[in-house]
A and B are shown apart, each in its own frame.
Chain A
Amino acid sequence: MKLMKLEIVTPKGVIYDGEAKQVTLPGSEGEFGVLPEHATLVSLLTTGIVTIEMPDSSKIDVAINSGYVKVDESKVSCIVDGAVALSAGDTDISKKLEEARDLLKSAETSSTAIAAAVSKVEQIGKSF
């Protein structure tokens, strides 16, 4: 299985920097998944959840408000305004979920997009 590099950067620091098997991104034209060897692409990102599939097949969800992504064959770089990572191993997961909800609610996009993203967060919260 091929892997690709993934970076998620916010003004407050690096959220994720490492390898990934697959990543699903909330593009402004709709959600899309990226596998290694993807064609070069630049897209706007809207409020939603970035799902990262790690090399060991575990998953990390990152709530974002808005940003950009650049994809090329070996690398995915996400530049976002604000992000909160939610992974199963976190000890303070409830606090993180709260943060994620606040982040999404403060985003300046359509209310339906926010509602969809928030309900996703709720689901993720239940799965822990």
Chain B
Amino acid sequence: MANLKDIQRKIKSVKNTQKTTHAMKLVSSAKLKRTEELARRSRVYAGKLTEMIDEIALKIQNLGADASDNIYFKDNNHPKKVDIIFISADKGLCGGFNAQTIKRVNKLMEGFKDDEVKVRLNGVGRKGIDYFRFNNVEMLREVIGLSSAPDYPKAAEFITEIVEAYVNGETDRIIMVHNGYVNMISQEVREDQILPIDVSTEHRNTESRSELEIEPDDDSTLLVALTKRYIEYSMYYALLDSLAAEHAARMQAMDAATTNAKEMVKTLSVQYNKARQEAITTELIEIISGVESMK
């Protein structure tokens, strides 16, 4: 039987933990609100940008062979070297948030390994980087601090380096894996192909009947600028999305932890009361038997 002091100490410690987890939950929910708002606003912009690039890409495809030479759209079915970008959190205590992303990256890498494709890893966020380092997986680029505070110039700088490698022909494909926000209680791992831009699947509302005119005329100026913007923004948006998901996941994890702590306090209290009662009973018996023996 555990002694009374021990149980009391345990209860106190669990209560403290409960306070911490509860506070973390509140912090996360406040941060989530802010990030979600930010992500919601950028989603409209990102959506429009995608719509525009899809349309242009589709038009280019329809134009025929010479235009499909464009490096951003040329699809390579048998890539030899692939850049994978993953976004994880800088901090833990958010349930399976980081593990989900890591698991997906591992699966992707295995798939490529079977096809004898070389993979280079580009990591954002401490947790994911730590995991791959621990497992002796080589990383090409590592960025810490970007996923907890998304910043457009920094995101652009990071992705531009990777895109440059693609444009120079070092890599044939860029894939990004990150955990995305669905709603308060669920996240979803997203896997997007950044380059080449995938158009064949996405052509939708092309209501326009007339020939597309592009200004300035040398259509590479606009296309290059637009593609650059599109890729940079995809990166930035992924960071925001991931951050919102992280806060949601942490909120959930901390909520669960608080509930568990509450349960634990309850069981411990019962144990404490039982032990106390037992001690009293023993004491009483001792007194009574003492009195009996005196007679």
Q: Which residues of A contact B (CB under 8 A)?
A: 7, 9-14, 27-29, 39-44, 68, 70, 72-74, 77, 79
Contact = CB atoms under 8 A, between A and B. Distances in A.
Interface band, chain B? 20 to 34
Nearest to A39: B210
Contact of A7 (B42, B48, B229, B233): B48
A73 B212 CA distance: 11
B75 to A, nearest CB: 22
Interface string B131-160: 000000000000000000000100000000
B208 to A, nearest CB: 4
A7 B52 CA distance: 13
Given A11-B41, A11-B233, A41 B212 contact: yes
Nearest to B223: A42
Interface string B192-215: 000000000000000111111111
A126 to B, nearest CB: 32
Contacts, number: 70
Given A11-B45, A14-B44, A72-B207, A42 B213 contact: yes
Interface in B5-57: 41-42, 44-45, 48-49, 51-52, 55-56
Contact of B207 (A28, A29, A68, A74): A74
A70 B39 CA distance: 24
Nearest to A13: B41
B167 interface: no
B215 A9 contact: no
A39 B211 contact: yes
Contact of A13 (B44, B152, B233): B44
B45 A73 contact: no
B45 A10 contact: yes
B49 A72 contact: no
Given A28-B215, A29-B216, A39-B210, 11 more contacts: A11-B233, A13-B41, A42-B222, A43-B214, A43-B216, A43-B222, A44-B216, A44-B225, A70-B52, A73-B208, A79-B52
* Nearest 8 pairs of A and B residues by beta carbon: A72-B208, A43-B215, A39-B210, A40-B208, A13-B41, A41-B213, A40-B212, A40-B210
B215 A41 contact: yes
A43 B223 CA distance: 10
A39 B48 contact: no
A25 B44 CA distance: 21
Interface string B215-259: 110000110011001000100000000000000000000000000
Nearest to B42: A11
Contacts of B41: 11-13
Given A12-B41, A43-B222, A77 B51 contact: yes
B215 A27 contact: yes
Nearest to B206: A72
